[in-house]
Amino acid sequence: MRCISPAESANDNERMTAMTMDTRIALPTDTEIELAADLLKRGGLVAFPTETVYGLGGNGLLGDAVEKIFQAKGRPMDNPLILHVGDWPLTETVCTPSPLAQKLMDAFWPGPLTVLCPKTGIVPWQVTAGLPKVALRMPNHPVALRLLRRAGVPVAAPSANASGRPSPTLAVHVLTDLAGKIPLILDGGPCQIGVESTVVDVEQDQVTILRPGLVTREMLEQVTGRPVEVAESTLRPLQPGETALSPGMKHRHYAPVAKVFLVPDEDPIPRLRRCYREATAAGQRAAVMCFTEDLPALADCNPYDLGGRHHAETMAQRLFAILRQVDEAGVDVVFSAVVPPEGAGLAVMNRLGRAAEFKQVK
């Protein structure tokens, strides 16, 4: 990586088509945000922080810009993108929300909730992968909101990781995955939430969670006043031939290079120890992911601290970074404690389960 000046990066748009380019990490000063907004408007890509994870943004009204996002990430084109908006009037230009969808937006925006709504004609097919609904979110992060408002266009942004890798919660994670492929990363520090937004579909008066996040089922039910469904496939792999409700669910996700196994015991310490010992004896570099309370008992098992047993929000915040650390340490196999899939725990278990491809130790 070479550091280049803001003036040089004004030419980034022209260089976007090149195979590799210099990638600059910048603090989100007014000048840099202005530059980033300009880059977006002209069809370039910018990685930026949100309260959930870093996003890789492109102008959501330009099919070519959206295609560049898929290329940079190595993402299959059949997996649609979320449009991010910084203000309400823009929302109406890209979708026609039902009264219930509008109610959810009013209650949780700006925030970690993505709502599927029928799209308008100005949304290019590349954003929705040809589907009739578009996913929309107004993120609750000062840098993201400033950038979106300056750009004045809806910004298509998946998580800014290479496809299949854990989502980035630090600017350096984005750099690791996308250096040479994008011109600019705005560094807003660590993401507070750490897992991606809750994705919901709304059909008449039924709300269904397609991807759980920190806007939980219980929080949604308080607003809708009736039961909210959770797509059954959030806690298991897709069956052969099964159609994914949200196309992202059919792709391998959140996966570190290391093999991950879940240890579902109420007291996971004995089995974590045994699995660690057996793997080490078999010549594998092993690790365990455990609760803070269990660290002393597992001190000789190469432990990674997920957070307190009853703090699913902390686990959400740490999980993706830990999966990356495990890989950097060259770990072959990691055994992980689990949390009940309730409240924020559902989002944690959806991501952890998929990182493990839902494998449990025998």
Binding at 361: pick from Mg ion, ligand TXA, none (beta carbon under 5-8 Å per type): none
Least Å from the CB of residue 207 to ligand TXA: 14
- Beta carbons of 278 and 332 less than 8 angstroms apart: no
**Interaction of residue 80 with ligand TXA, rule CB under 6 A:** yes
Binding at 110: pick from ligand TXA, Mg ion, none (beta carbon under 5-8 Å per type): none
Least Å from the CB of residue 290 to ligand TXA: 26
Q: Which position among 25, 107, 131, 235 is part of the footprint of ligand TXA (CB under 6 A)? A: 131
Here the tokens at position 67 are 């295609």
d(CA 40, CA 84): 12
d(CA 134, CA 131): 7
Q: Which position among 26, 39, 47, 53 is part of the footprint of ligand TXA (CB under 6 A)? A: 53
Here the tokens at position 155 are 């910004």
**Interaction of residue 165 with ligand TXA, rule CB under 6 A:** no
Handedness of CA 170, 171, 175, 180 (dihedral sign): positive
Q: Which position among 224, 247, 261, 358 is part of the footprint of ligand TXA (CB under 6 A)? A: 247
Here the tokens at position 132 are 């009739």
CB nearer Mg ion, residue 159 or residue 233: 159
Binding at 79: pick from Mg ion, ligand TXA, none (beta carbon under 5-8 Å per type): ligand TXA
d(CA 323, CA 88): 36
Among 9-17, 246-254, 266-274, 309-317, which window interacts with ligand TXA (CB under 6 A)? 246-254
CB nearer ligand TXA, residue 245 or residue 286: 245
**Interaction of residue 159 with Mg ion, rule CB under 5 A:** yes
Q: Which position among 55, 194, 212, 256 is part of the footprint of ligand TXA (CB under 6 A)? A: 55
Start-to-end CA span in the chain (Å): 45
- Beta carbons of 304 and 287 less than 8 angstroms apart: yes
Least Å from the CB of residue 153 to ligand TXA: 16
**Interaction of residue 216 with ligand TXA, rule CB under 6 A:** no
Question: Which amino acid, 263?
Answer: V
Question: Hey, is 210 helix, strand or coil?
Answer: strand
Q: Which position among 41, 68, 137, 324 is part of the footprint of ligand TXA (CB under 6 A)? A: 137
Least Å from the CB of residue 79 to Mg ion: 8
Backbone angles phi, psi at 169, to 5 degrees: -115, 0
**Interaction of residue 133 with ligand TXA, rule CB under 6 A:** yes
CB nearer ligand TXA, residue 215 or residue 263: 215
Contacts of residue 64, Cβ cutoff 8 Å, sequence gap at least 6: 43
**Interaction of residue 136 with ligand TXA, rule CB under 6 A:** no
Question: Which amino acid, 221?
Answer: E
Instruction: Give residue number: closest CB to ligand TXA.
Output: 248
Residue whose structure tokens are 């910048």 = 26
Distances from the Cα of 67 to the Cαs of 39, 64, 233, 355, in angstroms?
A: 16, 5, 28, 27
Cα atoms in the Cβ-side hemisphere of radius 13 Å centred on 224: 26
- Chain residues binding Mg ion by CB under 5 A are 158-159
- Chain residues binding ligand TXA by CB under 6 A are 50, 52-53, 55, 79-82, 114, 116, 128, 131, 133-135, 137, 139, 157-159, 196-197, 199, 210-211, 246-248
